[in-house]
DNA sequence: CTCAAAAAGTGCAACCACTACACTTTTGAA
DNA sequence: TTCAAAAGTGTAGTGGTTGCACTTTTTGAG
């Protein structure tokens, strides 16, 4: 256990109150119609302080990051008999279903999807995991750590999420897209 | 032939002189160390005018766009017996080789690759073609225009370029990556 | 307990990309 | 020749972001 001193507790607290204020205001009035100044005021903090905690306005909405990466690596490493693409597919489907519970998350997701700056930032954060995922895949298949095919599969799997999220029936879409990665384009339909 | 009046010629000329000034300054001192003001001054134009010709600072470096898209569609449509992934692979390899001649382009490419803002912008511009490419693929294979697999293949092919461009031996990398799209992950190496 | 140093927070001024606006100049065509 | 559209200009602003000098709080060592 990591014992947190008063200082670090307070720091975490201000950070959280900033993030909460931002989320609330953004959901209320949209990303572009809320200024950083207003967020800082709402959180009762100076603008300078806000930027000491978050590197950009967009970052106010994307807090969790390392968990996702380790989850991805874990999925690749610990998959019970399934192929890597199938394990990843299950992971994404499961994640989507897990979020479907909280209606709060749907709203958040729509905000991100409908705000170009946020969508882009989210994508950038997401694809940061490419290298880690590629290394995990390489390690798992005995390929060299910088193998091209592993890098490609990592990239494709990461981007597959975006392709799938735009579709109404996500489970079906996931099947088709990851099926493509699993069996290849030339598998069944066309030349 | 499209006859261009004096007006349109002059407009094109100022646009070009802006782009040229920008390219020269950026190559000289880097994207982040050159202000828009300086570019405008160098091109002997006001900042307002600069932004009437280009929507953003990044856009100063990415002029050609529609040609690439139509080229992609053309490649899919008019491929002599090759499968779609293979046709796209050849297209990318050929494009890379074509640029390899001009050493000027290598420098430009390094600038883009090493400047996060530019790399990102370039990627965004590039993936704009996804829909058009997906539709072309769908049409070519008789699938519905919004078929998921076609959308996925389009996206993957577009992203493949980035994966490949980072590698030293691009031809070989292209073979491996597009081979993956052609035959699928489960093709030869691992489960 | 004391005190000095580290860290968190503050306010201000500035930078930079970008826009709105009101304006002048140039140009194409009737 | 005349007139309206289009290109260009300068100014003043907005909004995100940073640098700086400063105060306050917290910590740990003596």
Whole-angstrom distance, CA of residue B120 vs CA of residue B116: 6
The tokens for A111 are: 């905000």
Query: Is there a contact between A164 and A170 (Cβ–Cβ < 8 Å)?
Result: yes
Query: In this complex, is the C-beta atom of B168 within 8 Å of any C-beta atom belonging to chain A?
Result: no
Chain C positions within 7 A of any protein Cβ atom are 7-12, 16-21, 26-29
Nearest to A109 by CA among A152, A164, A39: A164
Task: Give A7-26 pLDDT, tens digit per residue.
Answer: 789 999 999 999 999 999 99
The pLDDT score that the predictor gives to residue A190 is 44
Q: Which of A177, A180, A191 sits opposite B83 (nearest CB)?
A: A191
A 109-128: CB under 8 A from B: 120, 124
Nearest to A18 by CA among A33, A48, A34, A40: A40
CATH of domain A6-57: 1.10.10.60
Domain limits of chain A?
6-57, 65-188
The tokens for A127 are: 């694809």
Q: Do A152 and B184 touch (CB under 8 A)?
A: no
Q: Which residue do the tokens 């879409």 mark?
A: A173
What is the DSSP secondary structure assignment for residue B81, as one 8-state letter? S
The pLDDT score that the predictor gives to residue B187 is 52
Query: In this complex, is the C-beta atom of B142 within 8 Å of any C-beta atom belonging to chain A?
Result: yes
Q: Specify the CATH number for A65-188; select among 1.10.357, 3.30.700, 3.90.190, 2.40.50.
A: 1.10.357
Question: pLDDT means per 10 residues in chain B (191 residues)?
Answer: 74 96 97 98 97 97 88 95 95 86 87 95 96 96 95 97 91 95 66 41
Query: Is there a contact between B143 and B61 (Cβ–Cβ < 8 Å)?
Result: no
Return left, alpha or beta for A44; rule: phi > 0 is left, psi -120 to 50 is alpha, else beta.
left
Whole-angstrom distance, CA of residue B174 vs CA of residue A87: 26
CA distance A183 to chain B (A): 4
- Whole-angstrom CA distances from B17 to B11, B20, B46 are 10, 5, 13
Task: Give A27-55 pLDDT, tens digit per residue.
Answer: 999 999 999 999 999 999 999 999 999 99
Cβ burial of A17 (10 Å; 0-12, 13-18, 19+) is middle
Residue whose CA is minimally distant from C27 C1': B7
3 state DSSP class of A109: helix
Per-residue pLDDT in tens (0 to 9) along chain A, 191 residues: 455 677 789 999 999 999 999 999 999 999 999 999 999 999 999 999 999 999 999 999 998 778 899 999 999 999 999 999 999 999 999 988 877 778 888 899 999 999 999 999 999 999 999 999 999 999 999 999 999 999 999 999 999 999 998 899 999 999 999 999 998 766 544 44
Whole-angstrom distance, CA of residue B171 vs CA of residue B180: 14
Sorted by sequence, the CB contacts under 8 Å of residue B62 that are 6+ apart come out as B121, B122, B125
Helices B148-165 + A148-165 axis angle, to 10: 140
Cβ burial of A187 (10 Å; 0-12, 13-18, 19+) is middle
Q: Which of A120, A182, A190 sits opposite B186 (nearest CB)?
A: A182
Q: What is the pTM of this model?
A: 0.90
Give, for A66, the enclosing helix (H) or strand (E): helix A66-77
Cβ burial of A13 (10 Å; 0-12, 13-18, 19+) is exposed
User: Between the CA of B51 and the C1' of C17, what is the distance in angstroms?
Assistant: 10
């Amino acid at each position: 256990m990591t014992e947190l001193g008063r200082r670090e507790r307070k720091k975490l607290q201000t950070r959280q109150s900033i993030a909460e204020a931002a989320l609330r205001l953004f959901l209320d009035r949209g990303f572009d119609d809320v200024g950083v100044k207003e967020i800082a005021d709402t959180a009762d903090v100076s603008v300078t302080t806000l930027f000491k905690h978050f590197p950009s306005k967009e970052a106010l909405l994307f807090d969790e990051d390392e968990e996702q990466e380790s989850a991805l690596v874990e999925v690749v490493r610990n998959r019970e008999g399934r192929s890597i693409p199938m394990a990843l597919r299950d992971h994404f489907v499961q994640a989507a279903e897990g979020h479907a519970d909280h209606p709060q998350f749907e709203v958040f997701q729509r905000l991100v999807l409908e705000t170009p700056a946020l969508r882009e930032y989210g994508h950038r954060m997401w694809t940061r995991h490419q290298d880690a995922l590629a290394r995990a895949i390489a390690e798992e298949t005995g390929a060299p750590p910088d193998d091209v095919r592993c890098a490609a599969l990592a990239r494709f799997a990461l981007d597959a999420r975006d392709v799938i999220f735009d579709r109404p029936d996500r489970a079906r879409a996931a099947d088709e897209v990851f099926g493509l990665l699993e069996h290849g384009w030339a598998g069944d339909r066309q030349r």
